[in-house]
Chains A and B, each alone.
Chain A
Amino acid sequence: MIELINVSKNYPNGIDALNNISLTIGKEEFIFLVGSSGAGKTTLLKLLYRAEKPSAGKVMVDRVNVVELNAGQVPYLRRNIGVVFQDFKLLPKRTVYENVAFALRVTGAPRSTIRRKAMQALELVGLLRRVNSFPDELSGGEKQRACIARAIVNNPPILLADEPTGNLDPTTSWDILQLLDKINRRNTTVVVATHNKSIVDEMKRRVVELEGGRLVRDQQLGTYHV
């Protein structure tokens, strides 16, 4: 599903965020991308949904080198990749329902489809009771659920989560990981960038470790540290 081939990324300020990374992620895999702050996790995710372009190498998503997509094609790539953030990035003046529906609306989906799919996504993340709440009326866990609902409402084959538990307490973090696991079992490739040790150790999934932009470990059923 995802394949990085000799990928490097130098930012214009001279920082080498990624250094010759090669990595293959199969369909329906669940992987943790670990590494200390500044290791290059966010950069790697950004290459996948073309928020950044690599300085070298190929980034294959569903057998398409996304580096070569022109600006007009990028939106269609993004409809196939859901993204979840540490800071949720919910629109504050819209209700939970509107936030989720927004992601469908902007793809020009018909109204009936929007309603049905938005409610399905909200049900999946367990947020049906809160559909009419505004983001600042939600707890951190609920905000992250809303963010996840928005990311999956298009049924994307890939879900990327960048530090999804960074702002959450341990119990809530665990709930969110259970939710991501559930989504993964519905045939979605899930990539979670995190430095939450206890969760990685508990989940026992494939772990890819970055250090200073280099891939230093790729381990099945791994833990946070070796």
Chain B
Amino acid sequence: MFSSLEFFIIEAFRSFRRSALMTTVAIVTITVSLTIFGAFLLLILNLGNVVGTISSRLDLVAYTGKNLSLEEAGAIQVRLAKLPGVERVEFTSKTEAWKKFREDFGGQLNLEETVHDNPLPHAFALSVRTPELLPVVAKEVADLGVIEEVRYSGRLIDQMRSLVSAVRVGGLSLIVLLSFATLLIVVNTIRLTVLARETDIYIMKLVGATDTFVKWPFIIEGVMIGLIGGGASCLILKLSYESVAARLALALPFLPIFTNQLVLTLIYAAVILGGTALGMLGGQISVSRALKNES
């Protein structure tokens, strides 16, 4: 078996050199496809991360009617804190809110002259245990009957979620399409080798080589193409992700960037494995057709 393995590898390298141009094209194609594949994975991962972080930071805000006393508000705070799904309730009195409002915007608007009465209600900021509970808690709060208005950024989160799933679906279809295109190119590359080696195959079969034996050099050729393409793409992805991530972290420090090394390593590994699998499948397909014609 050892001498056979040597034979397979030497044969694979022979054809590798013989169709150097097509081989290069196939490697570049695999590299491009896998880079797009990996880039989409990274994008989806990061979008998901952003949505997750934003939702976990978002609170629900409940406003009372304007003419409620502090004591009444305190009673409401106790009831809110007891609602299922609510983690924490923070109270901002109408006086505090007005003060803050005037501090923030007082310079721009001439509030003292136009507005005499404090127009703001008391407000409660509720932290909810998980983002999915936001609408549920919002309803519970509304059902209490003592709250005038409930606000949360549900729409924004929903929009982000559908953006993520759109990217996911689009990316997935693109990856499937790209895989097919890549496979086609690999198959055709190795088909050239198969054609160039028709006499070899004929002689191999004549002197009693099994189909499996005839296939190995072509499968190895495919694996080599896939491995090189996958490796190159992995390198491109790793280097560009690191540099983009570093730049984003500087420019938009509040943006949560995905940096879990384990998951990133898995993605890079998936890229290399994907390339290898594509190459192997390509080799298998192209030589199987040749073997069917020959007998």
Q: Do A and B bind each other?
A: yes
A contacts, CB < 8 Å to B:
49, 51, 71-72, 75-79, 83, 89, 91, 102-103, 105-111, 114, 150, 154
Contact B3 A111 (CB under 8 A): yes
Distance between Cα atoms of A121 and B203 in the complex (Å)? 17
Shortest CB–CB separation between residue A140 and chain B, in angstroms?
18
Interface flag for B210 (CB, 8 Å): yes
Interface string of B191-214 (1 = CB under 8 A from A): 000000001101111111111011
Q: Which of A83, A106, A111 contacts B209 (CB 8 A)?
A: A106
Contact B4 A89 (CB under 8 A): no
Residues from chain B with a CB closer than 8 A to the CB of A106 are 7, 204, 207-209, 213-214
Residues from chain A with a CB closer than 8 A to the CB of B295 are 51, 71
Known A-B contacts A108-B1, A110-B3; A89 and B208 likewise in contact (beta carbons under 8 Å): no
Contact A76 B199 (CB under 8 A): no
Residues from chain B with a CB closer than 8 A to the CB of A105 are 3-4, 7
Residues from chain A with a CB closer than 8 A to the CB of B4 are 105, 108
Contact B3 A154 (CB under 8 A): no
Residues from chain A with a CB closer than 8 A to the CB of B199 are 89, 91
Known A-B contacts A89-B199, A89-B202, A91-B199; A103 and B207 likewise in contact (beta carbons under 8 Å): yes
Distance between Cα atoms of A145 and B204 in the complex (Å)? 19
Residues from chain A with a CB closer than 8 A to the CB of B202 are 89
Contact B3 A76 (CB under 8 A): no
Q: What is the chain B residue whose CB lies nearest that of A72?
A: B210
Q: Of B4, B206, B211, which is in contact with the most chain A CB atoms at under 10 Å from its CB?
A: B206
Residues from chain B with a CB closer than 8 A to the CB of A71 are 211, 295
Shortest CB–CB separation between residue B205 and chain A, in angstroms?
7
Q: Which of A51, A79, A91, A110 contacts B208 (CB 8 A)?
A: A79
A sample of 13 cross-chain residue pairs with beta-carbon separation below 8 angstroms, ordered by A number, consists of A51-B206, A77-B208, A78-B207, A78-B208, A79-B207, A102-B203, A105-B4, A106-B214, A108-B3, A108-B4, A111-B3, A114-B3, A154-B207
Contact A91 B210 (CB under 8 A): no
Distance between Cα atoms of A105 and B214 in the complex (Å)? 11
Shortest CB–CB separation between residue A122 and chain B, in angstroms?
16
Shortest CB–CB separation between residue B224 and chain A, in angstroms?
20
Q: What is the chain A residue whose CB lies nearest that of B4?
A: A108
Chain A interface, >50% SS class: loop
Distance between Cα atoms of A49 and B295 in the complex (Å)? 11
Residues from chain A with a CB closer than 8 A to the CB of B214 are 106
Contact B200 A78 (CB under 8 A): no
Known A-B contacts A105-B3, A108-B1, A108-B4; A91 and B203 likewise in contact (beta carbons under 8 Å): yes
Distance between Cα atoms of A94 and B207 in the complex (Å)? 16
Shortest CB–CB separation between residue B290 and chain A, in angstroms?
14
Shortest CB–CB separation between residue A154 and chain B, in angstroms?
7
Contact A75 B209 (CB under 8 A): yes
Residues from chain B with a CB closer than 8 A to the CB of A103 are 203, 207
Contact A91 B211 (CB under 8 A): no
Residues from chain A with a CB closer than 8 A to the CB of B2 are 110-111
Residues from chain A with a CB closer than 8 A to the CB of B1 are 108
Contact A107 B3 (CB under 8 A): no
Given A51-B295, A105-B3, 12 extra CB contacts under 8 A:
A51-B206, A71-B295, A75-B211, A78-B205, A78-B206, A83-B206, A89-B202, A106-B207, A107-B207, A107-B213, A108-B1, A150-B207
Q: Which of B203, B208, B213 contacts A154 (CB 8 A)?
A: B208
Q: What is the chain A residue whose CB lies nearest that of B1?
A: A108
Contact A76 B208 (CB under 8 A): yes
Residues from chain A with a CB closer than 8 A to the CB of B6 are 111
Interface string of B17-40 (1 = CB under 8 A from A): 000000000000000000000000
Q: What is the chain A residue whose CB lies nearest that of B204?
A: A106
Distance between Cα atoms of A49 and B205 in the complex (Å)? 11
Distance between Cα atoms of A119 and B177 in the complex (Å)? 53
Contact A91 B207 (CB under 8 A): no
Residues from chain A with a CB closer than 8 A to the CB of B3 are 105, 108-111, 114
Shortest CB–CB separation between residue B165 and chain A, in angstroms?
48
Distance between Cα atoms of A76 and B208 in the complex (Å)? 6
Q: Of B6, B205, B209, which is in contact with the most chain A CB atoms at under 10 Å from its CB?
A: B209
Q: What is the chain A residue whose CB lies nearest that of B213?
A: A106
Shortest CB–CB separation between residue A72 and chain B, in angstroms?
7
Residues from chain B with a CB closer than 8 A to the CB of A111 are 2-3, 6
Q: What is the chain B residue whose CB lies nearest that of A76?
A: B208
